[in-house]
Structure 1
Amino acid sequence: MRSQKHEKKQNRNKWFIRGLLSVLVLLIFILGSGVGYYGSKILEVLNNVSEGTPEELQDTTEQDILLKNKKPFSVLLLGLDEDAGTRRSDTIIVATINPTEESVKMLSIPRDTMIDLPGTNRSEKINALYALYGISGTIDYIEDYLDIPISYYATLNFEGLVDLVDAVGGVTIDSQLSFTVQDSTEKADAIEIDEGVQTLDGEHALGYARMRKQDPRGDWGRQERQREVIQALSEELLSLNSFTNFSPIMDAISPNFQTNLSGMQIWTIANNYTEAANDVESLELRGEADYVYFPAYGLDLYVWLPFDESVKELQDTFKQHLELDTSTTTNETGVGLDDQLEDIPEENPEDRSFEDPLEDDLDIDEDFN
């Protein structure tokens, strides 16, 4: 049995929100300045990335009112990784942004968190949700799990990291380990990482971010390396060199990024919520590690078992930050966003049912060391 203690670090994700909002401000500045080619290219990219949004997630009227009135909102961020033909969400981040308190609260849900699939007697790791139910089902489950409404979502395909890092000319990292790992074509030991400071191209950056088996910290170590790569990438995107590499950067973003945020919503967030990035608190889903037998696979798999009291604490924390009523649950009230919409008549939100998958031929994740 393996058990790892995850020490809570305040503001460890501050760079993520600052980097994200800074990039949005940069894009809005280009659009607002009327820089012909650059502005039209950004509009084209924004239109492309929102085209794949499922129909049931396209109507963001209520969320628009929240933004216009500077109300708190939430966002689900997924980092997608394709393994053996199955796309799983190996990075799951929930963030709430409160402009009045000028603060952000973020939770990175461990990919190995064990959950019970709704409407079934089957257990799974939470990173399998996207493969089984897509983005709509994943949002439904996260809303139920944390008992809060999810306003927006964004997904980033990790495979696209290769093109994006190459587009900015590489990223500089400081590796605490030396190791070899497979590349994006699954060729064993194709990527070699040295200990210390080095500049990585796209393939090496992806290998550095994905490796887990050789890290004594396991998945926690991988999460730290992923944050390091994204931070370095954000810094490159915000540099003056990004204008020189503008076309390759946009070409790399377009096929690998998806969101239901419109250009106008991005503009509103960039203008009204930037100060919240000055106070970012990283929350923790406390629990314990264990190996659990999965009948579907006939194997004992490594899992993270959250404490019930930790889940309840997170629910209350997020509700308070979103200025929701903590005395009732979202399911009991049948509302959620309406709790925040004081200036419009109360409406019943769309009841998105959580459909069971027709076939559960999900490939198992053998990387559980």
Structure 2
Amino acid sequence: METRGNSRKKKKSPLKKILIVLASLLLILLLTIGGFAAKTYFDVKNTANKISKPVKGREKSTNVETGKPFSVLLLGLDTGDFGRDDVGRSDTMLVATVNPKDKKTTLISIPRDTRMEMVGQGTVEKAAHAYAYGQEKMAMDSVEKFLDIKLDHYVSINMQGFKDLVDAVGGVEVTNKFEFKQEGFTFPAGKVTLNGEEALAYTRMRYEDPNGDYGRQVRQQDVISAIGEKALTFSGVTKYKQILNAMESNMKTDLTPDEMFKIGKDYRSSFGKIDQETLHGNGEMIDGLSYQVVPDEELARVQLLLDQQLGE
């Protein structure tokens, strides 16, 4: 692989368009694998207790407990680096459906500029704003209504957590479609190995991509798959301490420790096949703001797909 620049200049402005959060859910599976060993069990459970945070005002789902298919809203927050410690926005949003019968997980990327109702706010705005207004609850309520599905859980991670997770598994390898430069790094075409800083830059680029934000989402999904594959290897399991440290300060979920352990025990095969989809919209200017407006037929396509994946 060609040498990439290592002079990434830190900016005062916040990083945006950060990487996807599914890594955290896959890494929970990794932790549960190690968690059944006496040596690691208490470390894992301690971290699970620290990151578990229920959502007030939402009914608790029992799907994981009863072994049914379940859905997760995955949120990548634009906080945790460059001094940002405010609430922030969910610059990355995905819905993951996990079906143990079909042994399949489906990822749906939702562009941050997707125009939808802010449930509880009484406005129609960009999807990323829901978290800023009402954190996990409003984000879940808004996406749930937009996609007409029941969201069982959420997982969120900030940018520092993403970088730390990539480093914790020893970096990831992806196949880059074309050479580009981003934030002081040069990413050649072909197979590239990325550390945390590089992975964050790699997944943020969109202006040089002929597919714009949708191309960026494909790179995000590729990195997620790479993290999951690396984490579930023997070498990934041996790095559980680093993964725990990355998760403790930078990740939140409403999954209880018992649910996390059950996912690792009963749902692991569901992560062997990951299908990736993107909710496509059309760029429109409304009241001076740029939105992605999803056509009815596209929304119906994704809603049907999610309904099929969550069926028993």
TM-score, normalisation: structure 2: 0.78
Q: Alpha-carbon deviation of 1:151?
A: 1.0
Q: Alpha-carbon deviation of 1:248?
A: 2.4
Change (3 A) 1:198 1:67: closer
Give the whole-Å Cα distance in 2 for the aligned partners of 1:108 and 1:40.
34
1:159 corresponding residue in structure 2:
160
Change (3 A) 1:159 1:45: same
- Paired-residue identity, %: 33
Q: Find the partner of 1:72 among 69, 79, 92.
A: 69
Q: Is 1:53–1:258's contact at 8 Å kept on the other side of the alignment?
A: no
The amino acid that maps onto 1:73 is: F
Change (3 A) 1:26 1:314: closer
What is the correspondence of 1:163-202 to structure 2 with a 5 Å cutoff? 163-182=164-183, 190-202=184-196
Q: How many residues align?
A: 288
Q: Find the partner of 2:259 among 236, 256, 265.
A: 265
Q: Is 2:97–2:105's contact at 8 Å kept on the other side of the alignment?
A: yes
The amino acid that maps onto 1:240 is: F
The amino acid that maps onto 2:254 is: N
1:43 corresponding residue in structure 2:
45
What is the correspondence of 1:37-186 to structure 2 with a 5 Å cutoff? 38-50=40-52, 52-57=53-58, 60=60, 63-64=61-62, 66-82=63-79, 87-118=88-119, 122-182=123-183
Give the whole-Å Cα distance in 1 for the aligned partners of 2:229 and 2:103.
23
SS at match of 2:243: helix
Give the whole-Å Cα distance in 2 for the aligned partners of 1:67 and 1:249.
23
Q: Is 1:159–1:206's contact at 8 Å kept on the other side of the alignment?
A: no
2:293 corresponding residue in structure 1:
305
1:31 corresponding residue in structure 2:
35
Change (3 A) 1:174 1:168: same
Q: Is 1:23–1:237's contact at 8 Å kept on the other side of the alignment?
A: yes
Q: Alpha-carbon deviation of 1:281?
A: 4.4
Q: Alpha-carbon deviation of 1:47?
A: 0.9
SS at match of 1:39: helix
Q: Alpha-carbon deviation of 1:244?
A: 4.8
SS at match of 2:181: strand
Q: Find the partner of 1:315 among 275, 285, 303.
A: 303
Give the whole-Å Cα distance in 1 for the aligned partners of 2:230 and 2:31.
14
The amino acid that maps onto 1:228 is: D
Give the whole-Å Cα distance in 2 for the aligned partners of 1:314 and 1:136.
22
Deviations 1:174-194 (A, max 9, x none): 322333323xxxxxxx33333
- Tell me whether 304-313 or 269-278 shows the greater mean CA deviation: 269-278
Give the whole-Å Cα distance in 2 for the aligned partners of 1:201 and 1:212.
20
Structure (1 or 2) with the larger CA radius of gyration:
1
Change (3 A) 1:119 1:113: same
Give the whole-Å Cα distance in 1 for the aligned partners of 2:30 and 2:116.
39
Q: Is 1:103–1:279's contact at 8 Å kept on the other side of the alignment?
A: yes
Give the whole-Å Cα distance in 1 for the aligned partners of 2:200 and 2:57.
32
Give the whole-Å Cα distance in 2 for the aligned partners of 1:207 and 1:97.
29
Q: Alpha-carbon deviation of 1:31?
A: 2.2
Change (3 A) 1:42 1:313: same
Query: Once superposed, what is the RMSD of the aligned Cα atoms?
Result: 3.1
The amino acid that maps onto 1:88 is: R
2:204 corresponding residue in structure 1:
210
Q: Is 2:33–2:265's contact at 8 Å kept on the other side of the alignment?
A: no
The amino acid that maps onto 1:293 is: I
Give the whole-Å Cα distance in 2 for the aligned partners of 1:243 and 1:322.
29
The amino acid that maps onto 1:48 is: K
Structure 2's unaligned 5+ residue stretches are 1-20
SS at match of 1:67: coil
Structure 1's unaligned 5+ residue stretches are 1-15, 183-189, 325-369
The amino acid that maps onto 2:193 is: T
Give the whole-Å Cα distance in 2 for the aligned partners of 1:308 and 1:124.
17
1:293 corresponding residue in structure 2:
286
SS at match of 2:207: coil
Give the whole-Å Cα distance in 2 for the aligned partners of 1:275 and 1:234.
13
Give the whole-Å Cα distance in 1 for the aligned partners of 2:94 and 2:110.
6
Give the whole-Å Cα distance in 1 for the aligned partners of 2:271 and 2:67.
15
The amino acid that maps onto 2:265 is: N
